[in-house]
Structure 1
Amino acid sequence: MPSSQLRPILCVVGARPNFMKIAPIMRAFREEGIPAWLLHTGQHYDEEMNASFFRDLGIPEPDVNLGIGSGTHAQQTADIMRKVEPVMDEQNPAAVLVVGDVNSTIACALVASKKGIPVIHVEAGLRSGDRSMPEEINRVLTDQISDLLFTTERSAADNLVREGIDIERVHFVGNVMIDTLYYNLQSAKPVAETLAEYGLDPRIAHDPAGFALVTLHRPSNVDDPKILGGIVDCLSQISRDLPLIFPIHPRTRGRLESFGLMEKLASNRITCTPPMGYLQLLGIMKESRVVLTDSGGIQEETTALGIPCITLRENTERPITVTEGGNVLVGHDPQRIIAALGEAINHRRGEPMRPEHWDGKASQRIACILRAWLTS
């Protein structure tokens, strides 16, 4: 069937982690001649940051922006469902493609499934085993109602089969986040340039000790003043030996301010910045000596870059970053964080890791499978 006769796939994004996943997919669709519409739910609604990511990643402007904004998990999910239904009625897409595990993912998948529209889930089958994480609920439910499931690592298929999902619907294609990383690696901004843009001292980029990148945003780390206070004290201790660059997520900044912890970060060895664009953050990550984070995507990116990663969580839905990468799970206990950091900086930076199918071609595999599926 020629491309002109294919109905479009409605591709959904809603939050910044989605942008890195959808960019290579949209590019591969164009190359494969698969028509696609891009719908942005507006779950992350910082216009400046959205524009930065869309520009940096070469994502086309959304065909539809629902403008949802903030709210509780229930409010966001309900608002997205209510607003996306008439869009699906109007567009009558061949399928709805969702990525990752945010509220936009489950909301749009639910509406599509109830309307009899096939659901495609990219990054399916990842499991942390922690049902207290909203993202884990979103992952499990989205997979249950998906018609095609694309996985990033082989263990994901085992998770899906255990949950009763037909293996014939599952395709191991690799990691689209790594497609984006490789595609943009040479365009990453130098650290000194990024710091200068924020009016900050760029000399940290040339500190003889190197520097560490810090990112924090998960409720389990930032919503409890005792836990967040312990992490801040730990960061202050680390900064005596190793300078830190800390792009602060809006949610985290709000908690730091309300708990009276911002002044504890007021050190010339801890460089706090606003949230960064993709190319800025990638530049800092690729030059860092070690990364401390609670982000799932950064666990994957540091694996591909060969950078030690200390994850401030007790579990991960990306076990391959531990078994084949340099990721260590430490929770939020300061003693475990300090011990892991000591081990990381006392070892030479590792070789970049390439788990199976983490080769920059995952999105091309997805497009090839979908082309055959659409024309069958």
Structure 2
Amino acid sequence: MTRQSALLVFPIDVPQSAAFARTAHQLGFKVVAASSEPMAADRYPDYLPAYLPYVTEHGFGAALAELLRTHGIDAVFAPHPAIWWHLRTLCQSAEFPVAFHVCNESPYEMDWQSYGEAYRWAEDCVNADFLTTGTATPGLPLSNLAGLYRGYNQIPGQSDNTKLRALTQIARQTAPGDIVEIGSLYGKSAFALAWLAKFHRIGSVVCVDPWELSAIRHQGEQASLINAAAPSRDWQQAFLGFAASLSVFDNVTYLRDTSGQAVERYRQAADAGNIRSDEFGSTPITGRISLLHIDGNHKYESVRQDVEAWRPLVQPGGWILLDDYVWAFGDGPRRAGDELLATGGAKTAFTAADTLFVQV
């Protein structure tokens, strides 16, 4: 198949088809979007709309052949199991008048792929039990870890699966208390923290982020590409994505503010015993931080200020995580992290992916 060829996506009205068609269109392929259901002409403006009878109808084969000829289609994407099976039978038949191939594997295999990947990661987690001590809470079943992996990887963000694995380890040795995250964006790492806090009964997760362009500060000269890209993001959309990502939890809240302003609001809320929000209602907090995840502005002065402002609230034995300790766009997190380590008293310190983990 070449980019001059047309690609048929049928049926178009399922999530897998929509995602595949969008990618194919972005790559420059001509996409013919077909359905057996009534479809508004402007529903898929980037594709050529087409109607095909149900595969169970007598005229389906003739209609398909005509569609393939008309648009020069030589490949079909079909994520519906029964349709996929029927199309595979037709394309392998010497009697079908137009040559084509079905370009995707069995939909049953497609469905299992993400689950299989999740279970393989879960097994790696169990086998990489590198921090377990006598005080650790029990590990979680493979199915639970696989569910965490799937939910986490559906959310946009830069946190990777190596970091997620490390989070599953330290959560087993995190005392009850609040988890505070500075810089949440769409909520990918917050999802993992809330999920682990729930299963290990740690406490509530407080996400600190202004989600506002006017509050996004320069991150240093080496981060010029990131600084330049920041205004192109719709920060309100990011907040709405965050709220949707975390909506399944009852142990999450947020402070929509800069880190420097939020720390005092957090102290005041701790006196009241809760933080209220329209999206999450009343969320209890203790004012004692058991895990602090710093992933806000990466300029050295900003990371240092975050550490200085929030470190006094981290209880003994708690964790401080500095995201992007290893960073291609500057050394702010590394310098602040090295200063934290130089103060002494760390019970445990290690890096996983790009993050520095310190137990104080």
TM-score, normalized by the shorter chain, greater than 0.5: no
More relative contact order in 1 or in 2 (CA 8 Å, sep 6+)? 1
TM-score by length of 2: 0.29
